[in-house]
Amino acid sequence: MQLNARFYETYYFCNVINNVLNDSFTYAVELNDFYGDGRVFSLIDKFPKQSVFHSFITFVVETIYSENSNKIDFDNFDYRSSGLLPIEKAFEYHGIKYQLFKEHLKELCSLKDVFIEDAYYDWLLASQYYEDLITQTVEEVFYLLFLNRELLLNFNQIMADSLEMQASDVSVHVHLNDLLTTRCKNKRCHIPQWAKRAVYFRDRGRCVLCDKDLSGKLNINNLENYDHMVALANYGFNDVTNLQLLCKECNQNTKSAGVGSTSNSYQGWY
User: Interface with Zn ion by CB under 5 A: which residues?
Assistant: 207, 209-210, 212, 247, 250
Residue 216 C-beta: closest distance to Zn ion, Å: 15
Residue 206 C-beta: closest distance to Zn ion, Å: 8
Question: Degrees (nearest 5) of the Cα angle 66, 42, 39?
Answer: 60
Beta carbon nearer to Zn ion, 154 or 222: 222
Beta carbon nearer to Zn ion, 55 or 261: 261
Quick one: CA dihedral 161, 165, 170, 171, positive or negative? negative
Beta carbon nearer to Zn ion, 43 or 250: 250
Q: Which helix (H) or strand (E) holds 243?
A: strand 243-246
User: In 3-state terms, what secondary structure has residue 226?
Assistant: strand
Phi-psi region at 237: left, alpha or beta (left = phi > 0; alpha = psi -120 to 50): beta
Beta carbon nearer to Zn ion, 22 or 252: 252
Residue 28 C-beta: closest distance to Zn ion, Å: 36
- 215's CB contacts (< 8 A; 6+ apart) are 205, 206
| Cβ atoms of residues 204 and 131 within 8 Å | no
Residue 201 C-beta: closest distance to Zn ion, Å: 18
Beta carbon nearer to Zn ion, 186 or 261: 261
In angstroms, the first-to-last Cα distance of the chain is: 25
Q: How far is Cα 185 from Cα 257, in angstroms, rounded to an integer?
A: 19
Beta carbon nearer to Zn ion, 161 or 213: 213
| Cα–Cα nearest to 225, from 242, 250, 204, 201 | 250
Beta carbon nearer to Zn ion, 119 or 199: 199
Residue 150 C-beta: closest distance to Zn ion, Å: 17
Residue 244 C-beta: closest distance to Zn ion, Å: 11
Q: What count of Cα atoms within 13 Å lies in the side-chain half-sphere of residue 116?
A: 16
Residue 188 C-beta: closest distance to Zn ion, Å: 21
Q: How far is Cα 64 from Cα 124, in angstroms, rounded to an integer?
A: 14
